[in-house]
Amino acid sequence: MQLRVVGTALVVGAVTVAALGAYLSSTMRDGLFEQRLEQINVESANSFQQAQSLFTASLSKTKDSELQTLLLDVHNTLRTSGSPDRKIFLMRPEGATSRLNDVSTDNQLTSLVSDELRDAVLESDGRELQSVAIPRDPSDPSSPVDPGVLVGSKVQVPTVGTYELYFLYSLAPEQETLSFLQGTLALGAAFMVGILVLITWVVTRQAVQPVRNAASVAERLADGHLNERLPVKGHDELATLARSFNEMAESLQLQIGRMEELSLLQRRFVSDVSHELRTPLTTIRMAGEVLHASRDEFDPASKRSAELLQTQLDRFEDLLADLLEISRFDAGAAQLDAERRDVRDVVNAAVDLAAPLAERKGVWMSVHFPDEPATADVDPRRVERIVRNLVVNAIEHAEERPVEITVAQDRHAVAIVVRDHGVGMTEDEAMHVFDRFWRADPARARTTGGTGLGLAISLEDAHLHGGWLEVWGRPGRGAAFRLTLPLRAGIHLASSPLPLVPEEPTRIRGLGPATGPVGQVEDPAEGTTSPSALPVLPDEPLVAGRQGALRAASEHTADEERP
């Protein structure tokens, strides 16, 4: 801001001073010229009158020698009676029969008397003026020139008749005076612009420096240094701003402190409750298992209650486990037990665990592995949990359509994409899919008994590896989750080996229950319906899940650059 203000002041000041200088220079030039021209008019008028008086007083001279001497005497008299630097030319008109020679102060300058001026003088009864450029060295064509004025008039010479008398006045002194004044004006203008810039810089700094201090303190507050405050000096508007800023910072510090205490209490409460519930849950679990083992001896209503009790106890136990895991992430106590593993084995284990659910839901699963081992530094338990959550989520929302699991790697990362062709998701759903206890459709029943924390835990597991967990989806087109993990700990990911957005979206028609082994693709000719091509819709896909951000992904880019 200071640079903009100083630059603006510099431009405005320079333009203003330039305009004022041009006006003053023009005024001084016109004044000097008009003053000198008035002097020239007065002096030349007197000289023309004097010359005519001398010629009139010599009417008795009729010989050529006497007339030539008369011309020389008049010339010399005019030289001594006028300006010392004035040049005088006595010239006979063109075509005149006089045998007298022209008389001039400087024969090299007679060429300055133009034919136009001579014609005007002969046709006029008064004086004629013309501006000319007088060379300083008439013998050198490239010589510098000085401004001048040439004044001409007719005079009557005895016996001979009409002659032309010209006076050449140089304006070099006036030009020097004007140049000196213009130089002084330029120097004064530069000084004034410099003073203006200096004053603007000082005044702007007084206003900008407190703003800079406020920005610096705000940055440190944003970095977590909540004790930073602005210095308060005086009682002006800036001091009032500093006091208001400090009051705001104090209020924010108090509120953040309260929020941190509340968050700590909440995390501790969740952890304590989870631990405390384990003891009664164990007792209830033992009693429930006894009832479940004896359910065949009960009447149908009691038998159904025993089965429901066992199912809800399983879900309750999973919820407690997930709550404990989330509390570890919140407390920063989660640790990564990384080891060199082939990710294909981890994915196979997760798929095997989800196979019974896929069979119950009538969903066909296909797994696509690279030919080479996809070895990376991973925590197998956490990666298996991520993949299992993604696969179970895909099966839950596949609506009896296939689920595809693809694994690929490059020099820096390994990626796992879980793709389904079910209900998909909207933009708002993609923004919240990793939120805790969030459900896209609250009215939709959770038939698998999920806790609502699976995707949130998966996202934390991915971040713990230094990786990405992203989602793409469109309503009615299905969804795709992509997990990208670095091959080595500490690698900063810039791209993923697999595209998140499907290049050729497909629509599945009339797919029946999965009867073949997991990972095996049956021949369509033997009765399994294969996917048919689905036209690509023009709308942009949705991608979410990298640090909770929502962004647009390119449909045709498999290896996009990451910020």
Q: What digits encode the pLDDT tens for the residues 128-139?
A: 999 999 898 888
Going by pLDDT thresholds of 50, 70 and 90, the confidence category of residue 250 is: confident
Per-residue pLDDT, 348: 92
Going by pLDDT thresholds of 50, 70 and 90, the confidence category of residue 517 is: very low
Per-residue pLDDT, 560: 37
Q: Which range, of 167-176, 190-199, 252-261, 363-372, averages the lowest pLDDT?
A: 252-261
Nearest C-alpha neighbor of 124 from the set 170, 164, 173: 164
Mean pLDDT across 167-174? 91
**Among positive and negative, which fits the CA dihedral 79, 80, 83, 84?**
positive
pLDDT at 533 over 60: no
Per-residue pLDDT, 313: 81
Per-residue pLDDT, 555: 32
Mean pLDDT across 67-72? 86
- Secondary structure (DSSP) of 463-521: HHTT-EEEEEEETTTEEEEEEEEESSTTPPP---SS-SS-SS-EE--S-----SPTTPP
User: Contact 200/9 with Cβ under 8 angstroms?
Assistant: yes
Per-residue pLDDT, 246: 87
pLDDT at 543 over 80: no
Nearest C-alpha neighbor of 131 from the set 144, 148, 118, 117: 148
Task: Write out pLDDT tens, residues 81-125.
Answer: 888 888 999 988 887 777 788 888 888 888 889 989 988 988 888
Q: Strand, coil or helix: what is 22?
A: helix
pLDDT at 312 over 60: yes
Q: Which range, of 407-421, 429-443, 462-476, averages the lowest pLDDT?
A: 429-443
Nearest C-alpha neighbor of 87 from the set 50, 55, 134, 120: 134
Task: Write out pLDDT tens, residues 350-365.
Answer: 999 999 999 998 999 9
Q: Which range, of 300-314, 471-485, 519-533, averages the lowest pLDDT?
A: 519-533
In degrees and rounded to multiples of 5, residue 99 shows phi and psi of: -95, 5
Question: Residue 411 class from Cβ within 10 Å (0-12 exposed, 13-18 middle, 19+ buried)?
Answer: exposed
Mean pLDDT across 529-555? 35
Distance (Å, whole) CA 319 – CA 456? 13
Distance (Å, whole) CA 522 – CA 560? 33
Q: What is the pTM of this model?
A: 0.48
Per-residue pLDDT, 58: 81
pLDDT at 507 over 50: no
Q: Which two tokens stand for residue 112?
A: 């300055």
The angle subtended at Cα 468 by Cα 423 and Cα 432, nearest 5°, is 45
Name the residue with higher pLDDT: 71 or 314: 71
Question: Over the chain, what is the mean pLDDT?
Answer: 80
Distance (Å, whole) CA 391 – CA 402? 11
Task: Write out pLDDT tens, residues 197-219.
Answer: 888 888 888 778 888 888 888 88
Highest mean pLDDT among 121-125, 147-151, 421-425: 147-151
Highest mean pLDDT among 235-244, 504-513, 528-537: 235-244
Going by pLDDT thresholds of 50, 70 and 90, the confidence category of residue 451 is: low
Task: Write out pLDDT tens, residues 37-58.
Answer: 999 999 999 999 998 898 888 8
Question: Residue 374 class from Cβ within 10 Å (0-12 exposed, 13-18 middle, 19+ buried)?
Answer: buried
Looking at the DSSP assignment, which residues form a beta bridge with residue 150?
130, 168
pLDDT at 245 over 90: no
Nearest C-alpha neighbor of 351 from the set 334, 363, 341, 339: 363
Q: How far is CA 466 from the centre of its chain?
A: 30
Per-residue pLDDT, 237: 78
Highest mean pLDDT among 88-102, 113-127, 227-241, 282-296: 113-127
Q: Which two tokens stand for residue 164?
A: 């032309």
In order of their start, the domains of the chain are 2-181 (3.30.450.20), 229-334 (1.10.287.130), 338-552 (3.30.565.10)
